[in-house]
């Protein structure tokens, strides 16, 4: 194969890679506090982050014991929406529960 067709193959491969590039992902991290109930955090993890009760309980306990923990990893817009929804439901229920997002 000639040098120019190798270059052409490389160009096609690079172009293909660029077209299939994954979007940047963001981790939504729940923060511990002393006032939000464990039950409420489990409910949030089940309803907003689609976790089973067992998974939700594990994440909640990990946040409770270590200060923070991952609720999930999402594209930017979905992560932003989930953070807003958590804060909105927490506010409505007068809990100080906070979560943040960070590049995954």
Q: Is 48 in the site for ligand TYC (CB under 6 A)?
A: no
Q: For residues 26 and 41, which CB has a smaller minimum distance to ligand TYC in the complex?
A: 41
Residues 51-70, interacting with ligand TYC (CB under 6 A): 60, 63-64
Residue 5, CA distances (Å) to 9, 18, 73, 75 in order? 6, 20, 41, 37
The Cα–Cα gap between 101 and 13 comes to: 33
Q: Is 47 in the site for ligand TYC (CB under 6 A)?
A: no
The Cα–Cα gap between 19 and 55 comes to: 35
Interface stretch with ligand TYC, choices 8-16, 17-25, 27-35, 72-80 (CB under 6 A):
27-35
């Amino acid at each position: 194969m000639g040098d120019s067709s190798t270059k052409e193959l490389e160009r096609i491969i690079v172009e293909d890679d660029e077209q299939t590039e994954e979007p940047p992902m963001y981790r939504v991290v729940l923060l511990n506090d002393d006032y939000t109930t464990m039950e409420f955090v489990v409910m949030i993890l089940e309803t907003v982050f689609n976790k089973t009760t067992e998974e939700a309980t594990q994440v909640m306990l990990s946040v409770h014991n270590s200060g923070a923990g991952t609720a999930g990893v999402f594209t930017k817009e979905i992560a932003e929406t989930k953070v807003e929804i958590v804060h909105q439901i927490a506010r409505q229920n007068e809990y100080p529960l906070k979560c943040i997002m960070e590049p995954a």
